[in-house]
C-alpha cells in the first residue's frame, strides 16, 4: 500500500518521496534520512492506524533532530487516492497546509481528551511538554508555548511554568 503512494508521488514529480512501509520506521532509518534532509513531511493514511503511526514516526524522527511536519489528508485516505481524485496541482496546494508535529500531536490529543476543565488543560500541557522540551530553538519553543497559551486560554507564564515543572520532574527522576 505505501509503495503505491510513493509511486503516485514520484509520478507527480516528488522524487524524494519514501515509504516506511507500515509502522516499522526505526531509529536507524530516521538517522539515515537525516543524512539527506533536515525536514520530513509525514503523510500516512488518515485512519486511526495512520494517526497512531504518525505519532510514533514523528517521535522517532524528532528524536534524531529532524524537523517534522504532518500533512493530514481529509478528502482522501492516502496520497495515491488524493492525486488520482484531485491532481498534482491540488496536492501541491495542500502541501502548504502542513502542521508541525507538535501542532498535530496537540490536535490529536484534543480528539481523545476534549479540554473542558482546567485540570484537563494542565494534562494536555503535561502530555505535550516532552516534545516541546526537545525543541532547541528558543524562538521556536516560545512559539509553541504561545500556541498553547492561545489555544488553551492560559497566560504564557502559566504554560511556561507548567512545562518547566515537567522538565524538573524529568531531571529529578533520571
For 79-101, the pLDDT digits (tens) are: 888 889 998 899 899 999 999 99
Which pLDDT score, from 0 to 100, does residue 174 have? 56
Grid cell, residue 33, equals 534520512
Which pLDDT score, from 0 to 100, does residue 124 have? 95
Report yes or no: 24 and 42 within 8 Å, Cβ to Cβ.
Answer: no
Residue among 140, 137, 136, 129 nearest 164 (CA): 129
Which pLDDT score, from 0 to 100, does residue 22 have? 55
Q: Which residues, at least 6 apart from 135, have a Cβ–Cβ distance to it below 8 Å?
A: 102, 141, 144
Task: Flag residues of the chain having pLDDT under 70.
Answer: 1-3, 21-23, 171-174
Which pLDDT score, from 0 to 100, does residue 136 have? 87
Which pLDDT score, from 0 to 100, does residue 172 have? 66
Which pLDDT score, from 0 to 100, does residue 3 have? 65
Amino acid at each position: 500500500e505505501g509503495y503505491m503512494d510513493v509511486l503516485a508521488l514520484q509520478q507527480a514529480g516528488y522524487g524524494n518521496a519514501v515509504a516506511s512501509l507500515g509502522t516499522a520506521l526505526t531509529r536507524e532509518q530516521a538517522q539515515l534520512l537525516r543524512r539527506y534532509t533536515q525536514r520530513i513531511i509525514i503523510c500516512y493514511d488518515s485512519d486511526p492506524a495512520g494517526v497512531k503511526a504518525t505519532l510514533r514516526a514523528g517521535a522517532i524522527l524528532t528524536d534524531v533532530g529532524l524537523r517534522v511536519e504532518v500533512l493530514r489528508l481529509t478528502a482522501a485516505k492516502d496520497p495515491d487516492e488524493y492525486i488520482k481524485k484531485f491532481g498534482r496541482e491540488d496536492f501541491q496546494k495542500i502541501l502548504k497546509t502542513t502542521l508541525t508535529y507538535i501542532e498535530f500531536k496537540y490536535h490529536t490529543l484534543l480528539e481523545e481528551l476534549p479540554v473542558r476543565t482546567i485540570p484537563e488543560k494542565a494534562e494536555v500541557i503535561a502530555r505535550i511538554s516532552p516534545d516541546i522540551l526537545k525543541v532547541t530553538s528558543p524562538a521556536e519553543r516560545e512559539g509553541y508555548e504561545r500556541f498553547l497559551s492561545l489555544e488553551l486560554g492560559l497566560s504564557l507564564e502559566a504554560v511556561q511554568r507548567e512545562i518547566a515543572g515537567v522538565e524538573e520532574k524529568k531531571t529529578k527522576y533520571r
